[in-house]
A and B are shown apart, each in its own frame.
Chain A
Amino acid sequence: MRKIVWLLAGGMVVCLSHWGVAGSEVGVHLAGPTAAKSECQGCHAWRNPERTRRALAAPHDRLRMQHGQGDLWCLDCHRAEQPGELKTRSGRPLPYDAAWQLCADCHPVQITSWRSGIHGKRMESWRGARKLLHCPACHEAHDPAWRPPPMHPLPVQSLRSHP
């Protein structure tokens, strides 16, 4: 009897984890951070957010909100009822690791390109199931412009001088 209970529990865990992997819809494995910001969760795990659209004042001013250049605010993407979740523009709830579906609402060209393996970067292997970085791995959701890392200097000898 105990075995059966364990098996059932195990099965549920497996099902739930697969249900959570939104990447299976695009035939890819997603890599990169997916968690909600812990500093938000500190208060909003228990405190309901104020739902009126407004400029964020303290203590929210620590958040550098650049996305949408002032036209977007928290509850355009985050669910007020369930702070651990996102929502699409039409209101459909989304787990954090399915953020790309929310991104697709405004950036369909980039998402199409990403799903075909052109935008973003394929990880680890050129064969088998595609493993792609998901959007927030490169574009921080609240300040999404990609900032290039420093340029590497030219190697010692000029590449042009001797073939």
Chain B
Amino acid sequence: MSQTPETLLDPSRRRWLQGAGVAVTTVSAAPLMALADPEGAVADTLETLLQTHYRRMSRTEIQEVLHRIERRAEREHGVRIRCQDPPPVTGVRFGFAVNLSKCKGLRHCVTACRQENNVSMQGSGNVRVLAMPPGVRTLESGEVEYDAHTPMPPGSWFLPVQCQQCADPACVRACPVEATWREPDGIVVIDYDWCIGCRYCAAACPYWARRFNWQKPHLSAAHITPETSYLGNRPRPVGVMEKCTWCIQRTRQGRMPACQEACPSGARIFGDLLDPGGELRHILEHKTIFRLKEELHTDPQTWYFTDV
């Protein structure tokens, strides 16, 4: 068996040649790259490919990533956005409650969510409202395609559903690459740059809360929300999952989620579960509450109640 010339080289000489090769490539490629890629698009794409998991990045690395996201948004969507990475609020566990007596199925939450979270114009958004037949509360019996003229039997009701931000989320268990996890403030997030798009999480979620970007998101420059965050509403690439994050970019800065703000009837209550004087604790202590598919033991952090 003949030896290749490479293996004949002595180890030190081989190491030197390797090093020299890398150096020459780098030195010659850099100006070439600058010529061929004046906007840095290729460099940005390469760096995104080589980027590590969100939770392994240092603050400086994250800062670089945020700038890269801002550059990419300007290149691809023609909009100057600001991408931030607000940390979890310490000592806070977010929760949500929905007053079913108040929901009139007006879908203002659906529209507001799409707008705030830069959801593709071809996509459906991360909040859905189901028209439910009387006396039934299985999601599968709900009808999403109702309108103001749809005949509804007396006793019908509306059920708004989005990510329930489970404390033991089935989606997180299903993810083979740990691209999704639950943050300390209770919000289940996705690292869009780490997601491989296998859609196992969507199959695992019993609430249909996860959505796949089958196409590159269509966003119009006029309607993009420029205040974004890494784990939240920044423009997503094609082929990754997305979900409701309770508007992490807003709520971590003290604001209300867009759906709560848009709800004309005040059916949505968002707050801190650890605040003993808060609305959520009052509801949990004084109202008859239920959670969706509680028997699956996903421990959802969204509670439903009525005025009765």
A158 touches B144 (CB 8 A): yes
Among B42-72, those with CB < 8 Å from A are: none
With known contacts A146-B265, A155-B114, A156-B122, A163–B107 Cβ distance under 8 A: no
Task: Answer yes or no: A51 CB below 8 A from chain B CBs.
Answer: no
Task: Answer yes or no: B194 CB below 8 A from chain A CBs.
Answer: no
Query: CB-CB < 8 A to B212: which residues of A?
Result: 162-163
Number of A residues with CB within 8 Å of any CB on chain B:
31
Query: CB-CB < 8 A to B265: which residues of A?
Result: 146, 148
Task: Answer yes or no: A17 CB below 8 A from chain B CBs.
Answer: no
A159 touches B282 (CB 8 A): no
Task: Answer yes or no: A119 CB below 8 A from chain B CBs.
Answer: yes
Query: CB-CB < 8 A to A154: which residues of B?
Result: 107, 110, 144-145, 147
Nearest-Cβ distance from residue B59 to partner chain A, whole angstroms: 25
A122 touches B279 (CB 8 A): yes
Chain A residues engaging chain B, CB cutoff 8 angstroms: 113, 116-128, 138, 146, 148-160, 162-163
A148 touches B106 (CB 8 A): yes
> Can you list 15 A-B contacts with CB-CB less than 8 angstroms, sorted by A residue number?
A116-B286, A127-B92, A127-B272, A150-B106, A150-B148, A151-B107, A151-B147, A153-B147, A157-B123, A158-B124, A158-B144, A159-B125, A162-B211, A163-B205, A163-B210
With known contacts A152-B106, A152-B111, A126–B254 Cβ distance under 8 A: yes
Among B256-284, those with CB < 8 Å from A are: 256, 260, 263-266, 269-272, 275, 278-279, 282-283
The 7 A-B pairs at the shortest CB distance, nearest first, are namely A117-B279, A121-B266, A152-B107, A159-B124, A159-B128, A163-B202, A116-B282
Query: CB-CB < 8 A to B105: which residues of A?
Result: 151
B255 touches A116 (CB 8 A): no
CB closest chain-B residue, reference A132: B266
- New contact pairs (10) apart from A149-B106, A154-B110, CB-CB < 8 Å: A123-B256, A125-B256, A126-B271, A127-B254, A150-B148, A153-B147, A158-B145, A159-B208, A162-B212, A163-B210
Among B187-244, those with CB < 8 Å from A are: 199, 202-203, 205, 208, 210-212, 214
A155 touches B125 (CB 8 A): yes
B255 touches A125 (CB 8 A): yes
CB closest chain-A residue, reference B113: A155
Number of B residues with CB within 8 Å of any CB on chain A:
50
With known contacts A120-B266, A149-B108, A159–B122 Cβ distance under 8 A: no
Nearest-Cβ distance from residue A125 to partner chain B, whole angstroms: 5
Query: CB-CB < 8 A to B122: which residues of A?
Result: 156-157
B107 touches A153 (CB 8 A): yes
Task: Answer yes or no: B307 CB below 8 A from chain A CBs.
Answer: yes
Task: Answer yes or no: B77 CB below 8 A from chain A CBs.
Answer: no
Whole-angstrom CA separation of A38 from B286 in the bound complex: 41
Query: CB-CB < 8 A to B264: which residues of A?
Result: 148-149
CB closest chain-A residue, reference B149: A151
Task: Answer yes or no: B121 CB below 8 A from chain A CBs.
Answer: yes
Task: Answer yes or no: B104 CB below 8 A from chain A CBs.
Answer: yes
With known contacts A122-B279, A158-B144, A160-B144, A113–B307 Cβ distance under 8 A: yes
Query: CB-CB < 8 A to A128: which residues of B?
Result: 254
In this complex, the member of B110, B145, B266 whose beta carbon has the largest number of chain A beta carbons within 10 angstroms is: B266
Task: Answer yes or no: B251 CB below 8 A from chain A CBs.
Answer: yes
A155 touches B124 (CB 8 A): yes
Nearest-Cβ distance from residue A129 to partner chain B, whole angstroms: 11
Whole-angstrom CA separation of A116 from B128 in the bound complex: 27
With known contacts A118-B283, A119-B266, A121-B263, A151–B251 Cβ distance under 8 A: no
B269 touches A117 (CB 8 A): yes
A116 touches B279 (CB 8 A): yes
Task: Answer yes or no: B99 CB below 8 A from chain A CBs.
Answer: yes
Query: CB-CB < 8 A to A116: which residues of B?
Result: 279, 282, 286
CB closest chain-A residue, reference B106: A151
Query: CB-CB < 8 A to A159: which residues of B?
Result: 124-125, 128, 144, 208
Whole-angstrom CA separation of A128 from B271 in the bound complex: 11
Nearest-Cβ distance from residue A74 to partner chain B, whole angstroms: 29
A126 touches B106 (CB 8 A): no
CB closest chain-A residue, reference B256: A126
Whole-angstrom CA separation of A155 from B117 in the bound complex: 14
Whole-angstrom CA separation of A113 from B267 in the bound complex: 13
